[in-house]
Structure 1
Amino acid sequence: MEEHDINNEAAKKNVNNSDKDSPKDPLKEIKEWAQAIVTAVILALLIRVFLFEIILVVGESMVPTLEGGDRVFVNKICYIIGEPCHGDLVIFKTPEDGRTSYVKRLIGLPGDRVRIEDGVVYVNNEPLNEPYIAEPPYNDFAEEIVPEDTIFVLGDNRNHSKDSRDYHVGFVPMDNLIGKAMWRIWPLDSLSAMK
């Protein structure tokens, strides 16, 4: 009986070895590759839609913080699990068409009083310390209260930016937020966290 068991195990090993040595079915191999590719594509799309993406900055409205041609890593989940904060660099779809994406600095949250007077931005009557701007804004902006469920945004290049001061953009609905710019990743010599 023991001899029979040893022979069965040897026979099983030979069958297993012959499976390894035999060529794979080409159709089965193509199917496995196709499944792997489809899985990878679906995973990449889910990551891009729900977690993060890399965007290309177009235009000069955020100079000196960001320049045209920079690539920025955008965290899309941060505003799903948390709230936007003053000073965040936000990516949003414009209220005007819902397709165009902008990157701007968040200046006012719902209920904040925002105004620009003599080149100084005030939020709730407090002047903002803005070391990141290219130059002070030329034009004043009468005080506005940021409506509920919206934000007020400005470009860092205040005199060359289409932002909440412009009627085409205005107050940005929270639902239009895509995410927060976290890092500049291109060009490599400018690799840095966004502040």
Structure 2
Amino acid sequence: MKKEILEWLIAIVVALALIFVVNQFLFVTYTVKGSSMDPTLKDGEKVIVNKIGYTIGDIHKGDIIVFHADKQYDYVKRVIGRAGDTVEYKEDDLFVNGKKVEEPYLEENKIAKTNILLTENFSVKDLVNTKGKDTIPKGKLLVLGDNREMSKDSRFFGLINEKDVVGEVTLRYWPFSAFHYNFDPK
């Protein structure tokens, strides 16, 4: 009887240790709050964030990431620009390093927009923490929500620090009817 209890305790401890390791270093689950990423991610949906991908790899333009906005809140947004990039919006078109970039994930919102432009005209130098520079500094990212009319993003709080990135959203698992893997826009 004692041996069986000991085996159960060891199994529980090992399982808890594995859960801890997975949550700390590999993957973590989040619940989307708000409509800033509509229609890509909706309020209340549950996603899995890959934490290890950025530990051993790079952040790419177009990735949907979760980052620490402050000590209390984490935000989910899309990476639009990285260090060294110039980013500009002109008449609802995105230009990164002078080249037009297609944003197919915005099509539904462009149809439903209430303003003349879905994304107002701006460039990196217009953001609050860029000191008027045209390029994104080292260690920084420009992030925007897909629901541009409702999103609080780099247009409001400026560039974010790469070190604040938790990871990339790689899987939406709830509701199950909206299951989706790999949000790569390409």
Q: Which residue of 2 aligns with 1:112?
A: 85
Letter of the 2:82 counterpart: L
Structure 1 unaligned segments of length 5 or more: list them.
1-25
Q: Which residue of 1 aligns with 2:123?
A: 142
C-alpha separation in 1, matches of 2:57 and 2:104:
26
Q: Which residue of 2 aligns with 1:103?
A: 76
- Go from structure 1 to structure 2 and tell me whether the alpha carbon gap of 1:177 and 1:42 turns closer, same or farther (over 3 Å shift): same
Q: Which residue of 2 aligns with 1:80?
A: 55
Query: What is the root-mean-square deviation in Å for CA atoms of aligned residues?
Result: 1.5
Q: Which has the higher contact order (CA 8 A, sep 6+)?
A: 2
Question: What's the CA shift for 1:138?
Answer: 4.6
Aligned with residue 98 of structure 2, among 88, 111, 125: 125
4+ aligned runs moved over 4 Å, structure 1: none
Q: Which residue of 1 aligns with 2:29?
A: 54
User: 1:121 is paired with a residue of what secondary structure?
Assistant: strand
C-alpha separation in 1, matches of 2:18 and 2:136:
38
Q: Which residue of 2 aligns with 1:27?
A: 2
Provide the TM-score with structure 1 as the length reference.
0.79
Provide the TM-score with structure 2 as the length reference.
0.83
Letter of the 1:113 counterpart: T
Letter of the 1:182 counterpart: T
8 A contact 1:98–1:176 mirrored in 2: no
Aligned with residue 192 of structure 1, among 168, 174, 180: 180
Q: Which residue of 2 aligns with 1:151?
A: 141
Structure 2 unaligned segments of length 5 or more: list them.
111-116, 126-134
Q: Which residue of 2 aligns with 1:15?
A: none
Question: What's the CA shift for 1:176?
Answer: 0.7
| Identity score, percent | 39
User: 1:59 is paired with a residue of what secondary structure?
Assistant: coil
1:164 aligns with 2:145: no
